[in-house]
Amino acid sequence: MSYTEGMLRDGALKGKTILVTGGGTGLGRSMGTYFLKLGANLIITSRKIEVLEKTAKEMEKETGGQVLAVSCDVRDAEQVEHVYNKGLEKFGKIDVVLNNAAGNFISPTERLSTNAFNTVVDIVLKGSANVTMVIGKKWIDAGQAGTFLNIVTTYAWTGSGYVVPSAAAKAGVLAMTRSLAVEWAKYKIRSNAIAPGPFPTEGAWSRLLPGDLVKKFDPAKKVPVGRVGEHQELANIAAYLVSDFSAYVNGEVITIDGGEWLKGAGEFNNLDMIPQEMWDMMEASRGKKQ
Ligand code: HXC
Ligand code: NAP
């Protein structure tokens, strides 16, 4: 048994239709593929239809499941409505929404234009809100149960320099998750979040570690367990949170970062740098005084 293996039993998501925004690439693609393996029907959306269609074909071939690819810019509520209608036409219903689409890049904040700031907030916060509002209202009107799962990150609560629009937007998504978990529970709608630490993807690495930065800043070095994440271990948590096994989990954010954010937070965690010989010397000199 290993963290690179699927965790849930076969058929755990059978009968569910799951919409994954940003589902054509990276983590969205990995989570979507695992949902298909567990028996779900899948709808993937993003702006680039060519990417979505290619991914959908590859996913169907790999899993034997059914994938509907629909282009949608999450910044436009009408396009979200279109995805909902297409999903209904093909699968009869949508049970789960995974808000995974995001935009991000590193920059000193004083160098950001107003449009740069707005672009990230519009995709991450307002985009997730559009999808949540459009589909949440449909579920409420139909008296249908539903589950939202939102991908944030650990700087949603710590904040982080150089990604300020993303940090502000992800904090907003986390607040929305917790707020709706309470407000919409009466409609049988659950809302949870996952906060991943570093998981290598083309999309994230090209924007957060551009050029030579990838050689200078090895993300694994910041992680107490000494490595970056494997997509399957994220997919395992995601599958659990959208499955009925997690029916009593609501308003939660599950961190999966190998202890990374706490390493930065704990006052004395950098004493890791002290070699064993120095601890030996300190212990010996303590002994002498007694
Ligand atoms: C400063 C930048 C910039 C950069 C774009 N802009 N890139 N400013 N530094 N690196 C500015 C532009 O100059 C422009 O402002 C404004 O932002 C909009 O840029 P566009 O290119 O027109 O926007 P758009 O085509 O909508 O593309 C959105 C995008 C792009 C966010 C800029 O990178 C994108 O499509 N990203 C999607 C995928 C993605 O980002 N994946 C990574 C997620 S990783 P002006 O003023 O010039 O008009 C992630 C990880 C979190 O979230 C946690 C990790 C641990
Ligand atoms: P990614 O592959 O770049 O995924 C982002 C996806 O969002 C892309 O498929 C992109 O597709 C889509 N997207 C962007 N703008 C959109 C818009 N306006 N409308 C619809 N779709 C849009 O990067 P990733 O690393 O897998 O990121 C996935 C999620 O994980 C994000 O929420 C990210 O913040 C989060 N996360 C990642 C990491 C990490 O280390 N990788 C860590 C913490 C959190 P199009 O370009 O086709 O639109």
CA of 102 to the centre of ligand 2 (A): 4
Label residues 37-65 b or e (16+ Cβ within 10 Å = b): bbbbbbbbbbbeeebbeebbeebeeebeb
**For residue 285, what are its two tokens?**
């000199």
- pLDDT of 200 reads 97
Q: Which amino acid, one-letter code, is at 26?
A: G
Collect all residues with Cβ–Cβ distance below 8 Å to 128 and sequence separation of at least 6: 21, 74, 99, 101, 150, 173, 176
Measured CA to CA in angstroms, residue 145 lies from 41, 92, 97, 252 at distances of: 17, 14, 12, 18
**Domain locations in the chain as residue ranges:** 17-286
User: Of 52, 63, 53, 66, nearest to 22 (Cα)?
Assistant: 52
**Residue 185 is which amino acid?**
A
Q: In this structure, are residues 27 and 71 in contact, taking their beta carbons and an 8 Å threshold? A: no
Nearest atom in ligand 1 to 210's CA: 10
d(CA 34, CA 31): 5
Burial of 17 (0-12, 13-18, 19+ CB in 10 A): buried
Question: CATH class for domain 17-286?
Answer: alpha beta
- Residue 187 is among the residues annotated as catalytic for this protein: no
Quick: pLDDT tens for 113-151: 999 999 999 999 999 999 999 999 999 999 999 999 999
| Spatial separation of the C-alpha atoms in residues 38 and 197, rounded to whole Å | 25
Contact 181, 122 (CB under 8 A): no
Protein residues whose CB sits closer than 6 Å to any atom of ligand 1: 102-105, 107, 112-113, 115-116, 119-120, 153, 166, 198, 203-204, 207-208
Nearest protein Cα to ligand 1, atom 11:
116
Q: CB within 6 Å of ligand 2 — which residues? A: 21-22, 24-28, 46-48, 51, 72-75, 100-104, 123, 127, 151, 153, 196, 198-199, 201, 203-204
**pTM higher than 0.85:** yes
Longest Cα separation, the chain: 79
> pLDDT tens digit string along 53-104?
999 999 999 999 999 999 999 999 999 999 999 999 999 999 999 999 999 9
pLDDT digit string, tens, across residues 218-265: 999 999 999 999 999 999 999 999 999 999 999 999 999 999 999 999
